[in-house]
Amino acid sequence: MPRRFLNVALLLAAWCFGPGAQAADALPSWNDGAAKARIVAFVQAVTEPGGKDFVPPAERIAVFDNDGTLWAEQPAYFQALFIRDRIQALAPKHPEWKTQEPYASLLKGDLKAVLAGGEKALLQLAMATHAGMSTDEFRQIVSDWIATARHPKTGRLYTEMTYAPMRELLDYLRANAFKTWIVSGGGIEFMRPWAERVYGVPPEQVIGSSIQTKYELRNGQPVLVRLPALNFIDDKAGKPVGIQQHIGRRPIAAFGNSDGDFEMLAWTTGGPGARLGVIVHHDDAEREYAYDRKSHIGKLDRGLNEAGARGWTVVSMKGDWKTVFAPPR
């Protein structure tokens, strides 16, 4: 082949198959802008063989918060809505809940009274709905709920309130040999039953808060029983701890949306070499929700203050995303 043709062919091949060209097309739900460009430039840099920022595939670890980063978290964490639904479903078997707090207030729909009970009340509700059954039984409970329960405002399935641009990002990173992990304050066993189908993230790449489990025999068969006792809170400074415990390597890319992700972002971007820290900013009251510094859920204050100095990219849901919610999967 003449040299000129060869060059043209190589250029074409690079354009068709190189990480750069693929990248642009792999994120169709993202508007062209600084955020998208930064993400694509990072992926190109760490995947370019022989490049100064090249990272071997085994070390291409990307971590994603879930609530508010991969799916919505308003008007309450979806797991809190799961708890509410479960308390209602279990109420007929617990007549005592009609007069016992915090159950009574929850059943009357008086969320304010529930919250007045503080952390203790919430923990009590969580344990009443998350403990006492085997891990297999809990998986089935979550699977049934996620298949049918609907969001109070949109009427959609919760899995349809995952963000299309973020699901594209997960796919794009995996296409570039990243391993994608969820690192959430939510319950690890609440996410695992559907994270693989919805996000393409298998159970072993989900990190979250957990309660204790105990191995025992039931009718001679081994089961793992879920106990009403906290094991691990995967939030704030707990996130780097959970990452180390499960992954054993420092990630090179982290995606969050609230100050609960601050330490995860700091830990990820504090390492040597090319690093990517991204904050999803909820500034789209029309298509989703708008909240940040003063929100009880997903409070984002310090992250906004320090993102610039730390080189973190702030994604505007309003400006950077062509579409917000993902089609059913």
Q: Which residues bind a second copy (CB under 8 A)?
A: 58, 135, 179, 188-189, 192, 196, 202-206, 210, 213-216, 221-222, 224, 231, 237-238, 240-241, 244-249, 263, 266-267, 270
Q: Whose Cβ is closer to a second copy: residue 121's or residue 278's?
A: 278
Beta strands in 137-236 (DSSP E): 179-187, 206-218, 221-232
Instruction: Please name the amino acid found at residue 88.
Output: Q
Q: How far apart are CA 196 and CA 142, in angstroms?
A: 14
β-pairing, 206-218 vs 313-316, is: unpaired
Q: Look at the block and give the residue holding tokens 């996000």.
A: 199
CB of 197 to a second copy, least distance (A): 11
CB of 233 to a second copy, least distance (A): 12
Q: Which of 260, 312, 257 is nearest to 282 (CA)?
A: 257
Q: Whose Cβ is closer to a second copy: residue 64's or residue 291's?
A: 64
Q: Whose Cβ is closer to a second copy: residue 99's or residue 221's?
A: 221
CB of 268 to a second copy, least distance (A): 9
**11, two tokens:** 């250029």
The DSSP secondary-structure symbol of 294 reads T
Phi (first) and psi of residue 73, to 5 degrees: -140, 15
Q: Whose Cβ is closer to a second copy: residue 108's or residue 214's?
A: 214
CB of 108 to a second copy, least distance (A): 36
CB of 23 to a second copy, least distance (A): 25
Q: Whose Cβ is closer to a second copy: residue 160's or residue 196's?
A: 196
Q: Whose Cβ is closer to a second copy: residue 266's or residue 300's?
A: 266
**257, two tokens:** 């949306």
Residues contacting residue 61 through CB under 8 Å, at least 6 positions apart: 178, 179, 181, 247, 249, 250, 251, 252, 253
CB of 213 to a second copy, least distance (A): 5
Question: Using alpha carbons only, what angle is made at residue 313 by residues 50 and 289, rounded to the nearest 5 degrees?
Answer: 140
What 3-state class would DSSP assign to 253? strand
